[in-house]
Amino acid sequence: MNWILYIPKDTHHAIMALMSACVLPFIFAFLAKMTGGFDLKKDNQNPRAFLAQTKGLSSRLNAVQANSFESLPIFIGAVLIAMYCFVPQNVINGMAWLYVVLRIIYGVAYAMNLATFRSVVWGLSLMCCLQLFYFAIKVL
């Protein structure tokens, strides 16, 4: 078998988790705009300026959106490196979906202004990524 072209069975689960994680920031941005009273005709000229002046829930949802974009590179890298190093696909799938679930919980906790809980969940989502890197190192 040519290992360069080998694609493990059930890879689609990790790909779906990657896609879900990539869509989450856009969902949080949409929610930030809607809760902030975004006017498509007026505010769409400069939506970042609109979001920068929001307060309360809308501001927190905008922060979730920004943090979600910031965490994407490490997550994408961790999943791809783990796949490249032939970490068992069921492990990759589990960690990838756990990351997505934790990021959703993180967003809800941030929106509800649960700062300590939010920080714990953020750390757990980061640990999912670091664990995938660790598994990749152990496989080599």
Pick the CATH number of 10-139 from 3.30.450.20, 1.20.120.550, 3.50.50.60, 3.40.50.920: 1.20.120.550
DSSP, residue by residue, 74-100: HHHHHHHHHHHTT--HHHHHHHHHHHH
Tens of pLDDT, residue by residue over 79-137, are 999 999 999 999 999 999 999 999 999 999 999 999 999 999 999 999 999 999 999 99
* Token reading at 113: 């202004």
